[in-house]
């Protein structure tokens, strides 16, 4: 039996707004709330590959402020020039730490700036978004419209252009903020198709949809020639599964168009990506991938606010990798870019449920949409809009 004296209750408070509400609920003064709020938010930040001397200084400085730093054993064994750390502390402790780091050597000034950016991005309600994409109440839905004969879940269903246009408009009517049109299957084992064939499939449909849904059409392609044509036809988002790596001309096309670009993580290529994919730490490796891709894209002249990131569920990942990414999806908020998640009807859901038919995985997809929404996803890419719209609406009601 639990002792009743004082009615102790552990509170699971996720962010500053919930902490302020709890403090207000016990009648703390407004001034006290302002002070206590910064002391009640606790964050753990992973830092990799810093100078061992910097790691030693970082540990001592955070300890002196009441926080903690766990370091890799290289720091005390002096067996390497680099070290990894977990920095643990409250907002208030990090705020006192950062100015001190800026006065220290061994790269700690730059680390302080990176730490501040990661913490700020993580707790920001919504990142900068591309023009026309409203993320004030995330997540928004992106409907999947495949025009291919061999897609894993609905191949051949929308080969007729008129039927495809109707399907896209129906998605918008059901609540999709974006409709993502694809003319080449990227399922595991899929072969590439020529750009001319891809354009033959998508152009009539995107032209018709862009006229009816201006600013709301995305095209799933990694080919510069396809992107250039569809952007001229009213498309506003390019969804590139290769994160601008498979076609060297793509970066110039999207830079000149100043359109939104989804950078997706994929290990290998669609034809080979599911052949025994391995990672030492899938979350850390995908995170590092995005750091490199985002910095590279900005260096090439793309605007940071036009970039979105997609961890690529099912693209060169096992079921375990996919679940790990979903479990730790919130860590990608530290990058400060909108997070796109595409779990819809994926094979790993079939593995969990023992369901072979992809079209029987919509309820499972809705469950992952709730998980992603609660982890801070901004865009959910789904085949069935209605069931995911309702699932997300309930999630928002519980976790506004």
Express each pLDDT in 44-71 by its tens digit. Answer: 999 999 999 999 999 999 999 999 999 9
Q: For residue 2, is pLDDT > 70?
A: no
Give the domain CATH number at 87: 3.30.1370
Q: Which residue has 């899929």 as its token pair?
A: 190
pLDDT for res 159: 79
Q: For residue 316, is pLDDT > 80?
A: yes
Q: For residue 227, is pLDDT > 70?
A: yes
Segment 86-132, tens digit of pLDDT = 999 999 999 999 999 999 999 999 999 999 999 999 998 889 999 99
User: Residues 152, 75: one domain?
Assistant: no
Question: pTM for this structure?
Answer: 0.93
Q: For residue 292, is pLDDT > 90?
A: yes
User: Residues 165, 202: one domain?
Assistant: yes
User: Residues 160, 212: one domain?
Assistant: yes
Q: For residue 155, is pLDDT > 80?
A: no
Q: Which of 284, 287, 276 is nearest to 309 (CA)?
A: 287
The residues assigned a catalytic role are 346, 381
Give the domain CATH number at 269: 3.20.20.20
Q: How confident is the model at residue 1 (pLDDT cuts 50, 70, 90)?
A: low
pLDDT for res 153: 56
Q: For residue 6, is pLDDT > 90?
A: no
Q: Which of 172, 258, 174 is nearest to 214 (CA)?
A: 172
Whether the CB-CB separation of 184 and 192 falls below 8 Å is answered with yes
Rounded-to-integer distance, Cα 274 and Cα 186, Å:
12
Rounded-to-integer distance, Cα 66 and Cα 128, Å:
33
Q: Which domain holds residue 349?
A: 140-398
User: Residues 236, 176: one domain?
Assistant: yes
Q: For residue 378, is pLDDT > 70?
A: yes
pLDDT for res 304: 97
């Amino acid at each position: 039996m639990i002792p009743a004296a004082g009615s102790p209750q552990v509170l699971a408070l996720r962010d500053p707004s919930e902490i302020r509400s709890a403090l207000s609920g016990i009648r703390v003064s407004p001034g006290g709330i302002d002070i206590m709020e910064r002391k009640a938010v606790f964050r753990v930040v992973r830092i990799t590959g810093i100078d061992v001397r910097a790691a030693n200084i970082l540990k001592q400085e955070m300890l002196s402020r009441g926080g903690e730093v766990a370091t890799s054993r290289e720091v005390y064994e002096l067996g390497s020039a680099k070290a990894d750390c977990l920095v643990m502390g409250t907002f208030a402790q990090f705020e006192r730490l950062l100015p001190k780091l800026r006065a220290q050597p061994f790269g700690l000034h730059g680390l302080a700036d990176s730490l501040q950016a990661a913490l700020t991005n993580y707790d920001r309600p919504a990142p900068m978004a591309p023009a026309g994409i409203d993320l004030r109440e995330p997540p928004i839905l992106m409907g999947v419209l495949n025009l291919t004969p061999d897609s894993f879940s609905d191949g051949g269903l929308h080969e007729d252009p008129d039927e495809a246009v109707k399907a896209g408009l129906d998605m918008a009517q059901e609540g999709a903020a974006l409709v993502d049109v694809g003319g080449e299957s990227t399922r595991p084992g899929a072969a590439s198709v020529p750009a001319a064939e891809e354009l033959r499939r998508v152009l009539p449909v995107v032209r018709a949809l862009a006229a009816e849904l201006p600013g709301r059409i995305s095209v799933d392609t990694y080919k510069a020639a396809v992107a250039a044509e569809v952007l001229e036809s009213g498309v506003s988002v390019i969804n590139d599964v290769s994160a601008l790596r498979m076609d060297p001309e793509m970066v110039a096309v999207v830079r000149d168009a100043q359109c939104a670009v989804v950078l997706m993580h994929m290990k290998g290529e669609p034809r080979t990506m599911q052949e025994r994919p391995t990672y030492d730490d899938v979350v850390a490796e995908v995170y590092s991938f995005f750091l490199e891709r985002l910095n590279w894209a900005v260096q090439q002249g793309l605007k940071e606010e036009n970039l979105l990131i997609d961890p690529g569920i099912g693209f060169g990942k096992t079921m375990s990798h996919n679940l790990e990414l979903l479990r730790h999806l919130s860590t990608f908020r530290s990058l400060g870019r909108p997070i796109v998640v595409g779990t819809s009807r994926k094979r790993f859901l079939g593995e969990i449920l023992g369901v072979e038919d992809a079209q029987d995985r919509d309820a499972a997809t809705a469950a992952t949409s709730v998980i992603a929404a609660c982890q801070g996803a901004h865009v959910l890419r789904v085949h069935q809009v209605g069931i995911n719209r309702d699932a997300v609406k309930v999630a928002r009601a519980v976790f506004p």
